[in-house]
Structures are given as structure tokens and as C-alpha cells.
Chains A and B, each alone.
Chain A
Amino acid sequence: MADQLPSTPKLDELEKGKWPSFVTEIKMAAKRSPMAADLLGQLEQSYREKIGYWKHGGIVGVMGYGGGVIGRYSALPKEYPGISHFHTMRINQPAGWFYTSDSLRKICDIWEKHGSGLTNMHGSTGDIILLGCRTEELEPVFDELQKIDFDIGGSGSDLRTPSCCCGMARCEWACYDTMALTHDLTMHYQDELHRPAFPYKFKFKMSGCPNDCVASIARSDLSIIGIWRDEIQIDKAAVTEYAEKGMDIQSDVVNNCPGKCINWDGKEITIDDSFCRHCMHCINVMPKALRPGKDRGAMLLIGSKAPIIEGAFLSSILVPFIKIEPPYTELKDLVDKIWDLWCEEGKNRERVGEFIQRVGLSAFLDEIEVEPIPEMVAHPRENPYVFYEDYEDDDEDDK
């Protein structure tokens, strides 16, 4: 038990105001954990001197795994011995982040026994983050987590822990079962998750509809976003009810449609679905009246990433529609082709989106045997010196 908390005038400023404060949380943990107390001390010093006092550890982990532990050492171990080692453990979260209160208590008990007691729920990849552990405590934590059916997640150049929105468990818009797919991919790719063999990290994120609540289009190498390919379902009586209750359908729905495919004559709404961009705006505004179509699946988009190395990318369309049904063979076959090519030709620390930019989309598509489609063209006719094989063949035939 910490005898006395360090003086933290700068950190105390971050407790002011009505919002929860991470400083308050660390102070509470510090009453029981010397690690948390020393964390406060070092953080205060960092704020005072404007220097981060952490060293990166690149070797620590649990036996057999190459990911899931991020090594951290204090650069001031004599001043703050409690955080001399302060490794992070990433724990594979259940699909959709559903827990029983009992399982959360068990995780917290393990962490209070072996670590700092501080957690981060959840990390940006989706894992449960356990903050602050000594090297010799990593294996005991791992052993105890296994006993309650939790496993370590991904880190380093491996498949990162797949994550998804709550999908059909909580949301009426889910166009496929995101949680089932996430669970299946996690189980199927255990080797890729625990044994880093990629040029760099690879993330799957599953969103049930184009609202994309897990922001897969911005944060995953392969974004799997639920979509429909038939007509938006319209409940005409409910449309009338919205209008009668004062909704300005022309202004709030029709004028905001990016595909300009909705018509409202003051009595009835009609949609030209061939121009629908699947943005979900009309459905979000009139959820009782409009629903996604019945022929549902997902769109696959590839290549997004955060700014590290080359800058931030958004995902681009790879497959406009694919049925997402067990055992997901079509999806897995495509993923395996992408990984084979990227692992073979990718440079160290090159994300798949950067790889595609380097080799060119057409070469990438050729290798993974996916036909190009108009949706992949960002700027038609941008380059007049592009020639197509078919045209060249035609020319040769003419000769």
C-alpha cells in the first residue's frame, strides 16, 4: 500500500471540471498500488519538464506468442521503482464488447493481484488494455486469464485482434452478423494473431451497416461493412406519419441525399435505388419509415490506416457486395490471397494500403484475381496515357 501520494499540482489541474478525470482514477488506484503511485509521480515530472520518461521494451512477452504485450520501462527507475517495469497487456475482447459483470470482476481481480490495477477499456484496436505489469508477472497473468477463458490479443506485425460493432445483438440496421464473423475470424486466424509473420500490422473491423460505428473505413486494413443490394424498404404509412408530425422531408431527407435519388411529392416518397449511395442518411432520419433492403451482405474495402509512416488513408472499395455467411469461405480465400501477396512483396512496416499504392491497384488486383470495377476509379480519365489490354488486343487484331 502506498504510504503517501506524491505532490501533483499540475496533474491536479486535470481533476477540475465536471468530467471524469484519469488523474482521479490513478489516485484512487494509488491508494492500493505502489505502481500507480509512482506513475503519478513520473507523470507529474513529465508534465513539469515536458519530457516523456518511458523506454520501449521490444522483447517482453509470454512464451510462444509474439504479440499482445507492449514493453514499457521507466527511464527513471531509481526515482520511481514501482514503474521500473510497466508493460501493457492487450487482452482479446469478446465480439461486440459484451461481458458479464462477473467476468469483468475476475479480470480486475487478476490485474490487481499481478499488475497496477489500471486498465484502459478499450484500446483503439478494441482489446482490453491492462496497464502496468512487471516482466515476471506476465506469465502468471496469462495463466490466470486462460483459466477464465480469456486470451492475449495482437500487437506487432501480426493480425490485430478483430473487432466489430454490436451488430445484430443490439442494432436493427445490421446487414450481417458482425459478431459471428468476428468470432469466426478470430478463431480461424489464431496463428496469424499470435505469431507475427506480416510486413506490418493488419486489422479487420466489422461494421454491420454503412453507419460504420466502429469506423472501420478509417481504421482497418480490411473494412467489412454491411450493405444491401436491393431496394430500401419503405413503410408509406410511417412516412406520412413523419410528415404529419412536422418533419420537413424535402429539406431534411431529400435535399441531403448524396445520390439525389429520393423524390417527395408531398404525399409519397419514392427512391431510385440504382443511384443510392448507401449512406444511411434517409434511414437514420426516418428510422420508422425506411429500412435497408432484404438482400443483405457486406462491402469489402481495403487499405485504411492511421497516420504512422505514410499518413492516414481511408479504405477503398475492393468488393462491392459479398454474402457474409458461415463458413465465410469466399472471404477467407480472398484474405489469404491478399496476405500471400503482401507477405511476399511487402516492405518492412508497409501496411497493405501503402503496398497497394506502391505497386499500383491494377497490379494488386491482377495478383489477387479480383476484377476491377468502376467504383475503384477515383478520378476517371485523370491520366490519358493509360491503355487497356483489351484495346491493345483489338489493335493487334486490326493489323
Chain B
Amino acid sequence: MAKSIEEVADAMFNMVKEAQGVKKLKPMDLIKAMIQIYGEEVDKKLCKMAIKELINNGRCVYTYFGGSFIELPHREGAAND
């Protein structure tokens, strides 16, 4: 049975949360991980929609440090007041 966008988004969010401060994850890292975990219950399109959901509701943000990553919202070190 296919996973819902919300279920995949939650699983991705947990991955990002666990990796925060340890490893920066790219969107494709999340997509590959979901396909590995859920197999045929997910596809790339569904995973992309889950990422969009995570970003649109503000649970995660895109960041750029030499490449684009997905992280939890946080104050970056370079930021000035």
C-alpha cells in the first residue's frame, strides 16, 4: 500500500532531525533513503511532494553551503542581528 505524503514527510523530518549538526542531507539523500526503507510503497514523485510539504509548512528549510541541503530551521553562524 502506497505511503501518504504526510507519512513520508514525517519520516524525512526525523532523518533530518537526527542528522542535524552531524551531517548535511541533500534532497536526493532523503529520497534514496525513503525508497530504501519503503521500497515500492513510495516513488520519487511522492518523495518530492513530501519534501515540498516539509518546506512549505516550515518544518525544514533549504540551506546552501557549497551545495543545497535540507535542514531544520536554525540561526546560522554568519548571521548578524
Contacts and interface: CB of A to CB of B under 8 A. Distances in A.
A85 interface: yes
B79 interface: yes
A195 B52 contact: yes
Interface in A41-81: 55-59, 61, 63-67, 70-71, 73-74, 77
A197 B78 contact: no
Contacts of A230: none
Given A55-B78, A157-B26, A196 B56 contact: no
Contacts of A85: 80
Contact of A156 (B58, B64, B79): B64
Nearest to A70: B64
Interface string B57-76: 01001111111100101101
Residue among A191, A200, A348 with the most chain B CB within 10 A?
A348
Nearest to A342: B28
B76 A59 contact: yes
B55 interface: yes
A214 B63 CA distance: 30
B80 A74 contact: yes
Nearest to B30: A197
A59 B52 CA distance: 17
A349 interface: yes
B58 A63 contact: yes
A196 B28 CA distance: 10
Contacts of B62: 61, 65-67, 156, 195-196
A65 B63 CA distance: 10
Interface string A187-225: 000010001111110000000000000000000000000
Contacts of A157: 26, 64, 67-68
B12 to A, nearest CB: 13
B51 A195 contact: yes
Given A63-B58, A64-B56, A58 B26 contact: no
Contact of B28 (A55, A56, A197): A197
B78 A156 contact: no
A61 B81 CA distance: 16
A84 interface: yes
A344 B32 CA distance: 8
B67 A348 contact: yes
Given A66-B62, A196-B68, A199-B28, 4 more contacts: A56-B78, A77-B81, A191-B52, A200-B67
Interface of B: 26-28, 31, 48, 51-52, 55-56, 58, 61-68, 71, 73-74, 76, 78-81
17 contacts: A55-B78, A57-B76, A58-B64, A58-B78, A59-B63, A59-B76, A59-B79, A63-B58, A66-B68, A70-B64, A77-B81, A197-B27, A197-B31, A197-B51, A348-B26, A348-B67, A349-B66
